[in-house]
Chain A
């Protein structure tokens, strides 16, 4: 598996496949490079929220002199409620904990970020906020971001590329529109296809030629143009 071809892409890459297909195992192939920050539930190392946030940056001694300012910035960016800083990580809600773990990794400013199955703790507003944050990190900070999830509908709009993992191997990889065109392979493996992709395929087979779109708003616009 040529793992290097996935590095430094400056893109948001969705890693999906069925539960147990080996998505996180695939991600574990990345671990050796220190410039990769993997965010998952195993990243908890400290009991108190503030200690957890500072844990990795202190461990790798990364720009400690600027720590307070950068911490402030990241707490604000993630909308972390300051009142939880002194609490135990086990006494806060799952979504707050997820934000705390994101903060602890972001503080180290890795070039590549892997967000491993943590979206499901968030309500849809927070999911969108986090995904929009990833877009910012990609555009303004030139990062490469992998989002691992079994629920492709949550992320389809926000990703550039997709990796489909099946049985521990990469089944498909490429631009997201191309990857999900392979509906016969995906359906055979029972791998979920985003609603919007299914909709586009079916409406095209009814001779309405709409563009490749990835969001509901774009879908409505393009349908309006074609049908009216």
Chain B
């Protein structure tokens, strides 16, 4: 089943067209990553798909075409985590529960458990405006989980965190999404983040110029993308006849070289 669909999506601003006739079908429960150069429109696409920007286009979320009358209701099915999430509530816990219509002791406990899991229980009654970057990102993640959306949008989420922390959070979201049939749509500038995705979309020249798996992406010779370090080194070692095949980890590469 398609959780999101676009039909001939055309969108631009005053100076230029960003997307021309984009037709997308996103399967429910999939983990889709969107990549492309700076300024190509990744964030704008996320805003269109999540209803943050409303346009004349036919964009459907859960089979309902978004328009200005239903956008609020449709938005209840989605949640967005960006690089700088704005918070307006008095305390972290009230911010996290903000999107819930009713709040029970059960839910409050669930929030505390999640905060505790990420070692942020101390933030519970603090003001959400004064959080560090990492705290802001994780609070936004917990808020997303409590909202129980059908689609989670990640727009350059966790980008400033170190690699291990970033992977921990992405893996957590992926596990949570798989268990609950939630769809993830994520934009990123880091090719290492892509290994978790089921499907990768590369935006170029107002179109989706690549649509495939991670394996297909790194084996595609026409795309000019920066490959993961080990693969880039592998390819150069092959060029100089020092190894025969691509190797994606350091230990195996060294094993090959030492033969």
Write the residues of chain A forming the contact surface with B, with a CB cutoff of 8 angstroms. 18-20, 41, 83, 93-96, 117, 120-126, 149-151, 153, 190, 192, 195-196, 198-199, 202-203, 206, 208, 216-217, 219-220, 223-224, 227-228
Contact = CB atoms under 8 A, between A and B. Distances in A.
A153 B236 CA distance: 18
Interface of B: 15, 36-39, 43, 83-84, 132-134, 156, 159-165, 189, 191, 226, 229-230, 232-233, 236-237, 240, 242, 250-251, 253-254, 257-258
A223 B250 contact: no
Contacts of B164: 190, 192
15 contacts: A18-B165, A83-B15, A95-B38, A96-B39, A120-B156, A120-B159, A121-B38, A123-B189, A125-B37, A125-B226, A126-B38, A190-B164, A192-B162, A217-B236, A224-B242
Identify which of A20, A198, A202 gathers the most chain B CB atoms within 10 Å of its CB: A20
Given A94-B156, A124-B189, A190-B164, A153 B229 contact: yes
Contacts, number: 101
Chain A interface helix/strand/loop/mixed: helix
A117 B38 contact: no
A120 B254 CA distance: 30
Nearest to A119: B160
Contacts of A120: 83, 156, 159-160, 189
Contacts of A19: 133-134, 160-162, 165
A216 B232 contact: yes
B164 to A, nearest CB: 7
Contacts of B233: 199, 216, 219-220
A120 B193 CA distance: 13
Contacts of A96: 38-39
Nearest to B163: A192
A195 B229 contact: yes
A122 B257 contact: no
Contact of B240 (A126, A208, A224): A224
Identify which of A94, A126, A153, A195 gathers the most chain B CB atoms within 10 Å of its CB: A94
